[in-house]
Amino acid sequence: MKKEIRLLGIDDSPFTFNEKYTRIFGVVMRGGNYLECVLSSQISVDGDDSTSIVRDMIENTRHKMQIKAILLDGIALGGFNVIDIEKIYKDTKIPIITITRDKPDFDKIKTALKKNFQDWKKRWNLVNKGKLHEVKTSHNPIYIKFMGLSIDEAKEIIKLSTIRGVVPEPIRVAHLIASGVTRGESYGKA
């Protein structure tokens, strides 16, 4: 795999639950080194539009044909606006990898969905798409799901795009932008 493959990383902005919408940011990078493009859009907090808006972000960028994989910070944006990673992959034909630093607590997620959403079953089904894998790193392990590529390819993409710590640059940079744009100064890790 070439070190300079184009990757799209996506993360959402910090928000409060008083807000109806939050912004999401995409960055196209060559491997983990060179920023080529910044994308932004808006999704509803706890809504159900993240799949279509992420898909549109991918379909509409002039970089689409160059993007070899989509990296998402977890399976949901804007609270419980869960992304249908299978649909994104089927529609765009671009492999997709979700990454979290903490092991998802599925019991807790299910309880929260049941408590807060009439359509919890639909969201729960989306949460469960793809198998969760633990991936060892030189620091703590990370947890990933993926569609459209093998686990070895997913691991290779993560490795080639991670510079410091365990978060691939396209997600880390999308997080810094989302945080800095919203708060005035970026804080925290993706």
Q: What does the binding site for a copy of itself look like in residue numbers (CB under 8 A)? A: 25, 33-41, 60-62, 163-164, 172-173, 176-177, 179-181, 184-186
Name every residue whose Cβ is closer than 8 Å to that of residue 32 and which is 6 or more positions away in sequence: 160, 161, 162, 163, 168, 169, 170
In the complex, what is the shortest distance from the CB of residue 60 to a copy of itself, in angstroms, rounded to a whole number? Answer: 7
Nearer to a copy of itself, 42 or 128 (CB): 42
For a copy of itself, the closer of residues 41 and 100 by Cβ is 41
Query: How far apart are CB 185 and a copy of itself at their closest, in Å?
Result: 5
Q: Which one, 97 or 176, has the nearer CB to a copy of itself?
A: 176
Query: For residue 97, what is the DSSP state?
Result: E
- CB of residue 1 to a copy of itself, shortest distance in Å: 21
Q: Return d(Cα 101, Cα 124) in angstroms, integer.
A: 20
Phi, psi of 134, rounded to the nearest 5 degrees: -90, 130
Distance of CA 140 to the CA centre of its chain: 19
